[in-house]
Amino acid sequence: MLATHRPLVVPIILAGLATTGGAAWGEGRSPVEAVAAETLSAGSQEQIRGTVQDGRVTVSVDGTVVFEYVAPASGPKCYVKTLCSPKGINVFRDSPPDHVHHHGLMFAVGVDGVDYWAEGPGCGTQTTQGTIHLETRQENGRSMARVLHPIIWRDGQGNPQLAEERELLLVRSNQPQFPTLLVWHTRLEVTETDTGRTLWGRHYFGLGCRFVEAMDTGGTFYNSAGGNSVATTNDKSAEWCAYSANVGGQPVTVVIIDHPRNLRHPSVWFTMDQPFAYLSATLNLANEKYFLKTGATLDLRYVVAVWDGTPSATEIEKVASRFSNSSGRLKGVNDKRE
């Protein structure tokens, strides 16, 4: 089983989030070393605060909630409920009446004969195994929050099938033209079997997000392969996929970026805009199952970027390129370098 509290590797994107000293994290130095070498601008820092209470992580910047992560004691899922653009527009919707099992930004697949995407009798659950850890800090014009969460995936009878170490890193710049960034890092290992587990899926299983109701109509999908509609992005492979729509008359864009080291990169995407909008980065498990051997690890990394406005493909590529090429590692405030 994965050891709890072990520092996870998080590639730091920060593309476009150039530091005042000119060097971005991961360029020749560790993030901690890079930050330590740069001068913080007095008075330029936002005030970030975080709390963990009853399985809910809440992060506020200057008194406004910008991020919420929910981990119910009995599941069925652990997920990001709230993620705001730099102007404070939340883009995710939790458990709408039409699909109550859609929870903001969530990750779920099938394991052996168990469905972790759906909810109800016979379905699997994701439950906390240990303690949720939260770190917050401000460095060089950025506000950051890091969540470490150990999870057990249990079948409908409560038997453990997978152990997950999940790490989430929120990065916000004090410059509103840059996107809010969320790094999602999942590590899965098999439990309670001498052989392994078969991962399977439907065409939308993976890292998926349900958008706020205002984004259900009038939006546009586009991707790194030049697609610009559902017809040209759904069930297509691409390094990233974006969705832009209006919220309260303000355009906002959500982009998910697949890391090149992920299984079956580039991701096969699920997109839809009728009767509501949805976006998932999938592992193509609907067409090809994956056997995770006992003792092996499935390591998955994604970036979710939220822009105010509609970024061009070139702007998104800058973020994607930094994410893909970065060898930077973020350590906790008190972590030692390995």
> For the segment 80-109, what is each residue's pLDDT rounded down to a tens digit?
999 999 999 999 999 999 999 999 999 999
Q: 């916000």: which residue's tokens? A: 172
Question: How many residues does this entry show for the chain?
Answer: 338
Tell me the H-state helices in 30-139: 31-36
Give the confidence band of 308 by pLDDT, cuts at 50, 70, 90.
very high
Average pLDDT estimate for 328-334: 34
Q: What is the pLDDT of residues 186-226, one digit of tens each?
A: 999 999 988 999 999 999 999 999 999 999 999 999 999 99
Structure-model confidence comparison of residues 326 and 98, the more confident one: 98
DSSP code for 14: -
Instruction: Name the β-bridge partners of 254.
Output: 243, 306
Mean pLDDT (the chain, rounded): 86
Q: Is the dihedral of CA 211, 209, 332, 319 positive or negative?
A: negative
Contact status, residue 277 vs residue 215, Cβ threshold 8 Å:
yes
Determine the pLDDT at residue 336.
31
